[in-house]
């Protein structure tokens, strides 16, 4: 276990992973939780754990420092990036 987090560390986790953030799992030592699994942050508790809604229906929390994961781009950012690429293609 990674140990207790300070209030400042928990605040930083909450800021980096607000509710609704999309996450992709890189590693969790738990059967049925494969790398590449995606989920949405439901909340961050006072211990700094990210409570998740996973696409496989599970609701296991992520523990920073024990599990490995990364945040995915927001859907709006993806749409805007797609529009820019489409515009560049049309202008050529």
pLDDT in tens, 24-73: 999 999 999 999 999 999 999 999 999 999 999 999 999 999 999 999 99
Range of the domain at 29: 7-91
Look at residue 47 and tell me if it is in a domain. Answer: yes
Look at residue 2 and tell me if it is in a domain. Answer: no
Look at residue 60 and tell me if it is in a domain. Answer: yes
Give me the CATH number covering residue 65.
2.30.30.40
Q: Which helix (H) or strand (E) holds 83?
A: helix 75-91
Look at residue 1 and tell me if it is in a domain. Answer: no
Stronger pLDDT, 9 or 76, i.e. the higher one: 9
pTM score: 0.77
Look at residue 18 and tell me if it is in a domain. Answer: yes
Alpha-carbon distance of 45 to 34, in angstroms, equals 23
Alpha-carbon distance of 82 to 36, in angstroms, equals 22
Look at residue 69 and tell me if it is in a domain. Answer: yes
- Overall number of domains in the chain: 1
């Amino acid at each position: 276990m990674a140990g207790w987090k300070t209030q400042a560390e928990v605040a930083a986790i909450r800021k980096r992973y607000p509710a609704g953030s999309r996450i992709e799992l890189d590693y969790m030592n738990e059967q049925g939780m494969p790398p590449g699994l995606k989920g949405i942050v439901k909340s961050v508790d006072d211990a700094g754990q990210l409570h998740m809604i996973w696409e496989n229906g599970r609701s296991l929390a992520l523990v920073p420092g024990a599990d490995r994961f990364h945040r995915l781009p927001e859907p709006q950012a993806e749409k805007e990036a797609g529009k820019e690429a489409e515009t560049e293609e049309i202008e050529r």
